[in-house]
Amino acid sequence: MTTNTSTQIQLVARPVGWPTHDDFRSVTVELPELAPGEVRVANEFISVDPYMRGRMNDVRSYTPPYALGETMTGGAIGRVVESTSDAHSVGDVVLHQEGWRDVSQGAASGYRVVPELPGVPLSTYLGMLGLTGFTAYLGLLEIAKMKEGEIVFISGAAGAVGTAAGQIARLKGASRVIGSAGTPAKVALLTEKYGYDAAFNYKDAPVRKQLKAAAPDGIDVYFDNVGGDHLEAALSSFNDGGRAALCGAIQDYNATERVAGPSNMSNIVTRGLTLQGFTVGNHFQHYRAFTEEMTGWFRDGKIVFDETVVEGIDNAVEAFFGLMRGENTGKMVVRVGSAA
Amino acid sequence: MTTNTSTQIQLVARPVGWPTHDDFRSVTVELPELAPGEVRVANEFISVDPYMRGRMNDVRSYTPPYALGETMTGGAIGRVVESTSDAHSVGDVVLHQEGWRDVSQGAASGYRVVPELPGVPLSTYLGMLGLTGFTAYLGLLEIAKMKEGEIVFISGAAGAVGTAAGQIARLKGASRVIGSAGTPAKVALLTEKYGYDAAFNYKDAPVRKQLKAAAPDGIDVYFDNVGGDHLEAALSSFNDGGRAALCGAIQDYNATERVAGPSNMSNIVTRGLTLQGFTVGNHFQHYRAFTEEMTGWFRDGKIVFDETVVEGIDNAVEAFFGLMRGENTGKMVVRVGSAA
């Protein structure tokens, strides 16, 4: 593999509803010589994440929209193949935000050197040990302020953030952890591998009903990756003083018509509930605490994880579509090259 | 007026939708002799409040539902006419929760002696100086955490809580205060008397549109007394990091069908918003700070207020209906007697 060129994925049209291949294009560009203080990185894995669907729309948000006709960005991990920076050596593993391409290049300050942990694949830095794990940690502990002994419900529980959140809830002493997912295999995985006390398939029956059955004593904390009927069900099952961390609303992302909100919003008043939306960008003050705690759990063998790996930069867009359709278990990543 | 009997309002059926007179009855009971440590109080004013509609339903909430066939409770203020308590003398003005009747009687510990402030009517203890003012203070400053320089939107702004909240926002340095109400007279009052920078009649045009026009730079804080389309409008106008204190949803109280929630819930995630419902019961640790600050504002002539006074215990139910229909400006109270 040459690293003088970079194959990159660009957004060329803003999707209306479900994105299609016509909304993207792949370009291969010649890379210029490195300027002083830069690095060139052969990526090994790039990340595809639900939040990226939001960046494809031209709407105001904490994260700015992707520009049309430009290469998209996102999490990626790779090895330095060329460096004019004193802080980066050839062979260093670096984590960065210049994803959606096989070779990245730019100011060294944007590329953070991370240690290689024995037995831990590099892709983990995009998942459990990276922003995905941080999202789960932040939402559960800082946003929803989960306390020991509480009952926790997590939607999209077999996804990257969900599998992290369920394990963190358990490790932090939740008394009961309940998850929802969209296939029987995922539901089985939740209780058999990820330590959930109860799990259900949201396609089997109304979520509200299934949650009531799985949480006879109500819920105290809700980690929302889904929105829609799941949020409504949580509002219905919440105990007084319950807190919801709203992380995503994948049910709404590709909707072209307005989605009616929960019909039981008045429970927020009568039960004194708190709903807080968040994106990680505004909360990096907690990142160090996350890294220390999560690395410790990894070292002690207390964290398990799944990955869904799609091969090749040419399949990156298809990987993103698969993520939207819920085809992944755990973190979805694209393997874009090999440093070998 | 004799104080050996007490005329009391009881709930006899749970209203479905809008309550009717058939849901209530008036009874006159003989009062027993005082036991040791008790007081008998001739009430001057009793309070009718929107939250009472919620207590007429048999649903789980922070505040328990009213029991059928029993006298309802609520805020009231009156004078001690008989006392077997060392802490209470005949003639003392007392604030208590045994309202919905003209004469109250019980353990002295439930009756708090309050000072008579010159020029301040006793009914004020049910409004600006009482739970109504506290609700506004708590919601704005502790729940929504309003900071100096922020833009504040208040719905139901000409109501008891709304007129308090607008003035507190101003006194605490909000850069812009916007209110909504349901009649031209109320809208005029908001800007002319209560210091609002902008106000609109929610019946004139969609709230979302009117709020956008009144808040071209968006809003940072929303104090919600209404729910429904007002909350949806706030979600649409919120700046990043906005906070909503949800105090009531009068639009939903008498609905017999499920009310669809806001269609733009996903803004909660993308803009990092916080929605928190509250009832005062769980936050009395802030009551002293409120009383001190509000009494000071009163003393300095910095607070104005309106009252809608209905005469007679026999009209208490009708007063409550008027409140539900929005016929009050400021606090709605029922004058039930005179200590003269």
- The tens digit of pLDDT for each residue in A71-82 reads 999 999 999 999
Q: What is the pLDDT of residue B29?
A: 96
Say how many residues make up chain A.
340
Taking 50 as the threshold, does the pLDDT of residue A340 lie above it? no
Write the secondary structure of chain B as one string of H (helix), E (strand) and C (coil): CCCCEEEEEEECCCCCCCCCHHHEEEEEEECCCCCCCEEEEEEEEEECCCHHHHHCCCCCCCCCCCCCCEECCECEEEEEEEECCCCCCCCCEEEECECCECEEEEEHHHCEECCCCCCCCHHHHHCCCCHHHHHHHHHHHHHCCCCCCCEEEECCCCEHHHHHHHHHHHHCCCCEEEEEECCHHHHHHHHHCCCCCEEEECCCCCHHHHHHHHCCCCEEEEEECCCHHHHHHHHHHEEEEEEEEECCCHHHHCCCCCCCECCCCCHHHHCCCEEEECCHHHCHHHHHHHHHHHHHHHHCCCCCCCEEEEECHHHHHHHHHHHHCCCCCEEEEEECCCCC
Tell me the shortest Cα–Cα distance from A188 to chain B, in angstroms.
29
B54 lies within 8 A of chain A by CB:
yes
A94 pairs with which residues across the strands?
A: A78, A113
CA dist B42 → A140, B2, B49, B87, B310 (Å): 52, 9, 21, 17, 17
Return the CATH number of the domain spanning residue range A5-127+306-335: 3.90.180.10
pLDDT at A109 over 50: yes
CB contact under 8 Å between B271 and A241, yes or no, is no
- Pick A270 or A249 by higher pLDDT: A270
Closest residue of B to A276, CA-based?
A: B274
pLDDT tops 90 at residue B328: no
| pLDDT at site B43 | 97
Residue A330 buriedness (CB in 10 A; 0-12 / 13-18 / 19+): buried
Residue B336 neighbours by CB under 8 Å, 6+ apart = B43, B44, B45, B46, B101, B102, B312, B313, B316
pLDDT digits (tens, 9 = 90+) for A144-153: 999 999 999 9
Taking CB atoms and an 8 Å limit, are B264 and A258 in contact across chains? Answer: yes
Give the residue range(s) of CATH 3.90.180.10 domains in chain B. Answer: 5-126+306-335
Q: pLDDT over 90 for what percent of chain A?
A: 80
Question: What's the rounded mean pLDDT across residues B95-118?
Answer: 94
Question: Which part of chain B is CATH 3.40.50.720?
Answer: 131-281
The answer to whether the Cα torsion of B279, B282, B286, B290 is positive or negative is: positive
State whether B265 and A264 contact (CB < 8 Å). no
Chain B hits for A240, Cβ within 8 Å = 62
CA A68 vs CA A10, A20, B84: distances in Å: 7, 15, 80
pLDDT exceeds cutoff 50 at A279: yes
Instruction: Please list every residue in chain B whose beta carbon sits closer than 8 Å to the beta carbon of residue A272.
Output: 62, 276-279, 282
Three-class secondary structure of residue A214 per DSSP: helix
Query: Is B95 in the A-facing interface, judged by CB distances under 8 Å?
Result: no
Q: Are A233 and A207 in contact (CB under 8 A)?
A: yes
In sequence order, the 6+-apart residues with CB closer than 8 A to the CB of A209 are none
Predicted confidence (pLDDT) at residue B22 exceeds the cutoff of 90: yes
- Output the pLDDT for position A56: 93
Is the Cβ of A255 closer than 8 Å to some Cβ of chain B?
no
CB contacts, 8 Å: A54 with chain B: 270
Closest-CA distance of chain A to residue B131, Å: 16
pLDDT at B117: 82
Comparison of pLDDT for A157 and A251, the residue scoring more:
A157
Question: Mutual orientation of helices A228-237 and A207-214 as an angle, nearest 10°?
Answer: 40
Cβ atoms of A256 and A187 within 8 Å: the answer is: no
Cα torsion B221, B222, B223, B229 to 10°: value is: 180
Which is the CATH superfamily of the domain at B5-126+306-335? Medium-chain alcohol dehydrogenases, catalytic domain (3.90.180.10)
According to the model, what pLDDT value does residue B255 have? 64
Position A203, amino acid:
K
For residue A59, what pLDDT is reported? Answer: 80
Q: Would you call B240 and A62 a contact, using CB atoms and an 8 Å cutoff?
A: yes
Q: What is the pLDDT of residues B224-267, one digit of tens each?
A: 998 889 999 999 999 999 999 999 766 666 666 667 789 999 89
Residues on chain B touching A274 (C-beta within 8 angstroms): 274-277
Residue A289 has pLDDT above 50, yes or no: yes
A64 in B contact zone (CB under 8 Å): no
Q: Supply the pLDDT for residue B339.
A: 41
Q: If you count residue pairs, one on A and one on B, with CB atoms under 8 Å apart, how many are there?
A: 122
With an 8 Å Cβ cutoff, is B260 touching chain A? yes
List CB contacts (< 8 A) between B270 and chain A. 54, 59-63, 277, 279
A84 interfaces chain B, CB cutoff of 8 Å? no
Mean pLDDT of A219-245: 96
- Residue B51 has what pLDDT? 86
| Most B CBs within 10 Å, among A256, A268, A274, A279, to test the B interface | A268
Residue A339: per-residue pLDDT: 41
Q: How confident is the model at residue A120 (pLDDT cuts 50, 70, 90)?
A: confident
- pLDDT(A161) > 80: yes
pLDDT of residue B261: 87
**Residue of B226, B270, B279 best to disrupt the A interface, most CBs of A under 10 A:** B270
Residues A259, A190: contact at Cβ < 8 Å? no
For residues A177 and A155, give the distance between their C-alpha atoms in angstroms, rounded to a whole number.
11
Q: Which of A258, A275, A278 sits opposite B275 (nearest CB)?
A: A275
At B340 the pLDDT is 37
Nearest CA in chain B to A53: B270
Distance from CA of B260 to the nearest CA of A (A): 5
Mean pLDDT of chain A: 93
Q: Which of A277, B232, A270 is nearest to B222 (CA)?
A: B232
**CB of A133 closer than 8 Å to CB of A290:** yes
Q: What is residue A257's predicted lDDT score, i.e. its pLDDT?
A: 67
The alpha carbon of A28 is separated from its chain's Cα centroid by a whole number of angstroms, namely 27
What confidence score (pLDDT) does residue A147 get?
98
The one-letter amino acid at B258: R
The yes-or-no verdict on residue B187 having pLDDT over 50 is yes
Q: Which of residues 11-30 of A touch B (CB under 8 A)?
A: none
User: What CATH number labels A131-281?
Assistant: 3.40.50.720
The model's confidence at residue B337, banded by pLDDT at 50, 70 and 90, is: confident
Q: Any CB–CB contact under 8 A between B64 and chain A?
A: no
Best residue of A254, A266, A271, A274 to probe chain B, by most B CBs closer than 10 Å: A266
Rounded mean pLDDT of B135-155?
97
Give A119: exposed, middle or buried? Use CB within 10 Å, 0-12, 13-18, 19+.
exposed
Q: Are B121 and B44 spatial neighbours (Cβ–Cβ below 8 Å)?
A: no
Chain B residue closest in CA terms to A64: B270
Give the distance from CA B2 to its chain's centroid: 30
Tokens of A266: 């008045």
pLDDT at residue B147 in the model:
98
Provide CB contacts within 8 A for A260, sequence distance 6+.
B260, B261, B263
Residues of A in contact with B258 (CB under 8 A): 263-264
Residue in chain A nearest B237 by alpha carbon:
A60
Q: What is the pLDDT of residue B330?
A: 86
Give the 3-state secondary structure of residue A285.
Answer: helix
Cβ separation B261–A263 shorter than 8 A: yes
Specify whether the CB–CB gap between B170 and B191 falls below 8 A.
no
Neighbours of A203 (CB within 10 A): 12
Residues of A within 8 A of B231 (CB-CB) are 265
Per the CB < 8 A criterion, the answer to whether B6 and B103 are in contact is yes
Residue B21 makes CB contacts below 8 A (sequence gap 6+) with B317
Q: Kindly state the tokens that stand for B187.
A: 């809208």
CB contact under 8 A, B279 and A267: no
B residues 208-227 near A, CB within 8 Å? Answer: 227
